[in-house]
Amino acid sequence: MKRLLVAALIAAAVAVPAASAAPPVMHSGQLVVAFGDPAVGFAAGTVRGSKIVNPKGYEVDVATLIAKQLGVAPTWIYTPWTSLFAPGVKKFDVSFQEATITAQRKKTVDFTSSYFDANQGVLLSKSAPAPKSLADLAKLQTCAQADTTGLDYIKTKLHPSKQPLVYQTTTAAFTAVQINRCQALVLDTPIVASQKKAKPGAYGPVGGQIITHEQYGAVLQKGSKLTPEINAVIKNLWADGTISKLQKKWFNLDFSKLPNLK
């Protein structure tokens, strides 16, 4: 009887640490979350050096809930889009930058399961004629952000009559549209629609969307042990309706009302 009791106590002692094992984060008790350039509705805050102060947005709320479920506190940092998919050691645990999951990108980084589904959108300058079709769009001076699926679409599928202008940041791309250097910015629909809503007088209309059925995944170090743990949280956030509530909170836009360019 005594031996059985001792065995039971040992088994219990072994089981407790396993049940309360800390998540495999870079720094104990912290989830280092990276954001990139400000994106209306998704994530925006004050950048001070490599830190981001008081970020707010849909991705910030999702990251906060993930950290809470993992039992750690979120820490916010900035990392540029242009280095997001570069191979090598990351300075963050996870990064939310409206990054579309692609096979090419998955060669160098891990992606979580989708936390947002989107298509490509077209933001027009004030002087640009509204395209009725993809053929009309191809006649305009297009632009895109570097290393985006929008730029890839322009180059591989749209084949415009003029060479697309390429910008390193979304801020530079939006400025180009505002000053009419670029007539049509091809970028994710929720990003351009939210920017137009935030600054309605700065641009022409959102001229439509291109159905591409893209999914945003958060980015992690290739082979990160944290990936399945975050995936489990995201799955629950979809299942209990939290994702839908947060999208309505931060966007409240009906993208289905935009014309589809074919």
One digit per residue, pLDDT tens: the chain, 262 residues?
Answer: 434 344 443 444 444 343 457 899 999 999 999 999 999 999 999 999 899 999 999 999 999 999 999 999 999 999 999 999 999 999 999 999 999 999 999 999 999 999 999 999 999 999 999 999 999 999 999 999 999 999 999 999 999 999 999 999 999 999 999 999 999 999 999 999 999 999 999 999 999 999 999 999 999 999 999 999 999 999 999 999 999 999 999 998 888 889 999 9
pLDDT score, position 257: 87
pLDDT score, position 20: 54
CA 115 – CA 98 distance, rounded (Å): 9
How far apart, in Å, do the first and last CA atoms of the chain sit?
77
pLDDT score, position 17: 40
Question: Which secondary structure element, helix H or strand E, spans residue 124, and what is its range?
Answer: strand 116-124
pLDDT score, position 16: 39
DSSP 125: P
Closest CA to 93 of 107, 79, 104: 79
Q: Which residues contact 241 (CB under 8 A, 6 or more apart)?
A: none
Global pTM reads: 0.86
**CA atoms within 13 A of residue 249's CA, in its CB half-sphere:** 14
- Is there a contact between 261 and 209 (Cβ–Cβ < 8 Å)? yes
- Is there a contact between 91 and 34 (Cβ–Cβ < 8 Å)? yes
Q: Which residues contact 201 (CB under 8 A, 6 or more apart)?
A: none
pLDDT score, position 253: 86
| Count, residues in the chain | 262
